[in-house]
Structure 1
Amino acid sequence: MDSAASLPFADLLILELASVLAGPQVGQFFAELGATVVKVEPPAGDVTRTWKTPAEPADTDVSAYFSCANWGKQSLVLDLTTAAGRAAVHGLAARADVVLASYKPGDSEKLGVDYATLALLNPQLIYAHLTGYGPDSGRAGYDAVLQAEAGLMYLNAAPGQEPQKMPVAMIDLLAAHQLKEAVLTALYRRARTGQGTLVQVSLLDSALASLANQAATWLVTGHDPRPMGSGHPSIVPYGTVYAAGNGRSLVLAVGADRQFRHLCDALERPAWATEARFQTNDARVAHRAELEALLRQRIGEMDGDALLQTLEALGVPAGAVRTVGEALTRESGQGMLLPAPETGFPGLRTVAFRSPDWPQMEALTPPPHLDEHSGTY
């Protein structure tokens, strides 16, 4: 990295009053792009410090979960139920550019850290408030519940099987992206007008906005999309997992008839591409079951790794089903890792874009211990 000053947000001060995942993810995003991020924690700390798997050491307050969203920050413990704690936060807010908050509606007012209060101290302040169900609902938002209520869990099931939540807190991550977009929009507006603002994001709205083609199916046809496992409702073969003869599991993403013809060539079954029931995507969707049965049988007879190489050479979208460890240790995954400090473990970047006009943050301070930066502010 040339210097921190050359990063896009090197002059920003972010005050993070948010906890768990969505808000902290946004905080790390800004830290990776050069901002100073002060994470204000209650005396007990962010609850994710205690969310540990059995394999993690017990003698640290930095859990794997906490580390996924808190690199590059400074930790400051303030008790907002006390006058001294509120005064300290008010002092920080008076010179901050952005506040990230994730209080239930009404709680920030009780603690004296709501937008109306802080904007009086700093009219240029951008206050980004994340809630579960919007500013008019006091209901707390939890990712697993939102996955269920927004229709995502219903869809994430094989036919006849129980609905499943996704293995990461996907609604929190989608809400984090919405919150970033809101803050960036507000920063752009402030650059033109000099005015701060309140931006509000809910987990529910973020989840519903992500339904995309599945929502459009219901809106256009009036018919609810059906659970299909990893298959695609309007493209075949797309998303289904196939077990190859050597034990390799793989996925196809064939979105064009030309790609299907090349797939048939790779499978040494070129006649399939000329059959009326498989010749077009519409026909393949109509004859999904027959085609899937043929593909399962034929791929099960082949070496999956050799097949993947052939498909790549032919331009057929396909990939191996890999573990998390395999994905991160491959050469293609190395660029998304934050280097480990002298003692500790590497981190995962939240910033997945690049530009030749600013350097990539090569190193970031590790997730802070609770109240590690007491006395700094």
Structure 2
Amino acid sequence: MTDAAHGPLAGLVVADFTRVLAGPYCTMLLADLGATVIKIEGPAGDETRHWTPPQHQGESTYYLSVNRGKRAITLDLDNPDDLATAQRITARADVMFENFKPGGLDRFRLDYEAVRYQNPSLVYVSITGFGAGSELPGYDVLAQALSGLMSVTGAPDAEPTKSGVAIIDVVTGLHAGLGALAALRHRDATGEGQRVEVNLISSALSAMANQSGAFALAGVMPVRLGNDHPSIFPYGPFPTADGTLVLAIGNDRQFIALCGVIQAMDAATHPHFARAADRSVHREELRPVVIEALASRSAAEWSALLSEAGVPCAPILSVGEAFDWARDLGLEPAVASGAGVTTVRNPMTLSKTPAAYPLAPPKPDADRAWVEEHLAGA
């Protein structure tokens, strides 16, 4: 038995032994696309159930934000009957996700080799902090520190700063989902399952893209630049007569258009500013020119004028303002799932098989009867 068919992953059964963020975020996205996700929790429950404030109707919004669409069962793996249930779940699953410490599932015979023996076609996805050789707990802030992300985040004269969200957890969850789907493609073609391994540190270094690439390719050590970009200028927030406006000048054509609107055409032809690479090198010479020009009007006035001229710019919004702005564009960033719990919509739009949200985030052990019926083959 699986949940009512919807989406491209309908009929796919996922055994979800993950908790906190990277794994649950990944499996929630799969559930949105139709997968039947069985969330297995220990007696204490997912840690995020207890991470408050804030709360919604007495439940942690952290937990609610990454667990819709799932079936929940509480199992104590030290209890032989519960362990047998967990093993039966993995024996009938298409994909298993786990983020235990390396080796943490071995004594329960829920490690890859043991599960593969019972279910050779299973795709087994392991999410760790720093690979199988490390005992360091896989917390996002540790990965931000160890990956170098914090070393490039913040003002040059301030301390290293973490991202405002657990971005490495989120990126790792996306990598886990992509790896699982790739392995399923292979499984469907050959009948073979396989193990997929992702970790926070590798995901962080990959996601740092141009910054980590600068070191790998050219030996250039990235540094903190505040809101500046290492290769593009002007690119970031600038003061105006009444507030801040973000500019994103990605090419020479846009720079010429900017200069035209702010009445600084001398800068457009200046040998230090005419080309993107030169603007980056001579940014401290160009910065006061832009700031002085923008001081003559409000952020709203500049935004209207620059947008009309095709110059990329934007105000800095709060999260609430961002929801309103998206709605003004005809987008709906939030959706109600199941019993009316409103969460942030899946960002993927599929024209033929769209995401759906039939189940609210489950309460502890809410679906034990459903899981038992599933295992009975009904």
Q: What TM-score does the superposition give when structure 1 sets the normalisation length?
A: 0.93
**Residues 1:158 and 2:152 aligned together:** no
Please say if residues 86 and 113 of structure 1, whose CA atoms lie closer than 8 Å, have aligned partners that are also in contact.
no
Find the partner of 1:270 among 254, 265, 277. Answer: 265
Please say if residues 273 and 286 of structure 2, whose CA atoms lie closer than 8 Å, have aligned partners that are also in contact.
yes
Q: Which residue of 1 aligns with 2:251?
A: 256
Please say if residues 49 and 62 of structure 2, whose CA atoms lie closer than 8 Å, have aligned partners that are also in contact.
yes
Deviations 1:120-160, CA, capped at 9 Å, x for gaps:
22111111000111122222111101101101000001111
Classify 1:342/1:365 alpha carbon distance in 2 versus 1 (closer, same or farther; 3 Å).
closer
Give the stretch that moved more between structures: 132-141 or 293-302.
Answer: 293-302
SS of 2:71's equivalent in the other structure is: strand
CA distance in 2, matches of 1:6, 1:64: 26
- Matched residues, percent identical? 35
Give the stretch that moved more between structures: 171-180 or 269-278.
Answer: 269-278
Q: Which residue of 2 aligns with 1:318?
A: 313
CA distance in 2, matches of 1:76, 1:334: 35
Q: Which residue of 2 aligns with 1:242?
A: 238
Instruction: Give the superposition deviation at 1:267.
Output: 1.0
Q: Which residue of 2 aligns with 1:209?
A: 206
CA distance in 1, matches of 2:64, 2:292: 43
Classify 1:106/1:191 alpha carbon distance in 2 versus 1 (closer, same or farther; 3 Å).
same
Q: Which residue of 1 aligns with 2:368?
A: 374
Count of residues in Structure 1 that have an aligned counterpart in Structure 2: 367
Q: Which residue of 1 aligns with 2:139?
A: 142
SS of 2:155's equivalent in the other structure is: coil
2:250 partner amino acid: G
Please say if residues 267 and 299 of structure 1, whose CA atoms lie closer than 8 Å, have aligned partners that are also in contact.
yes
Deviations 1:313-356, CA, capped at 9 Å, x for gaps:
22212111111111122214843322265654x1013x322222
Query: Counterparts of 1:107-118 in structure 2 under 5 Å?
Result: 107-118=104-115
CA distance in 2, matches of 1:357, 1:342: 25
Find the partner of 1:77 among 49, 74, 95. Answer: 74
Instruction: Give the superposition deviation at 1:357.
Output: 2.0
SS of 1:353's equivalent in the other structure is: coil
1:347 partner amino acid: T
1:195 partner amino acid: E
CA distance in 1, matches of 2:218, 2:206: 18
Q: Which residue of 1 aligns with 2:354?
A: 359
SS of 2:55's equivalent in the other structure is: coil
Q: Which residue of 1 aligns with 2:295?
A: 300
SS of 2:245's equivalent in the other structure is: strand
**Residues 1:197 and 2:194 aligned together:** yes
Classify 1:359/1:142 alpha carbon distance in 2 versus 1 (closer, same or farther; 3 Å).
closer
SS of 1:338's equivalent in the other structure is: strand
Which residues of structure 2 form unaligned runs of 5+? 372-378
Find the partner of 2:276 among 273, 276, 281. Answer: 281
CA distance in 2, matches of 1:217, 1:275: 28
Deviations 1:269-289, CA, capped at 9 Å, x for gaps:
222212222111122112101
Deviations 1:55-103, CA, capped at 9 Å, x for gaps:
536x73x311111210111111000111111100111111111111001
Which residues of structure 1 form unaligned runs of 5+? none
Find the partner of 1:348 among 344, 350, 365. Answer: 344
CA distance in 2, matches of 1:360, 1:343: 16
1:47 partner amino acid: E
Q: Which residue of 2 aligns with 1:35?
A: 35
2:83 partner amino acid: R
Instruction: Give the superposition deviation at 1:5.
Output: 2.6
**RMSD of aligned Cα (Å):** 1.8
SS of 2:195's equivalent in the other structure is: strand
Give the stretch that moved more between structures: 266-275 or 22-31.
Answer: 266-275
CA distance in 1, matches of 2:339, 2:109: 40
Q: What TM-score does the superposition give when structure 2 sets the normalisation length?
A: 0.92
CA distance in 2, matches of 1:189, 1:221: 36
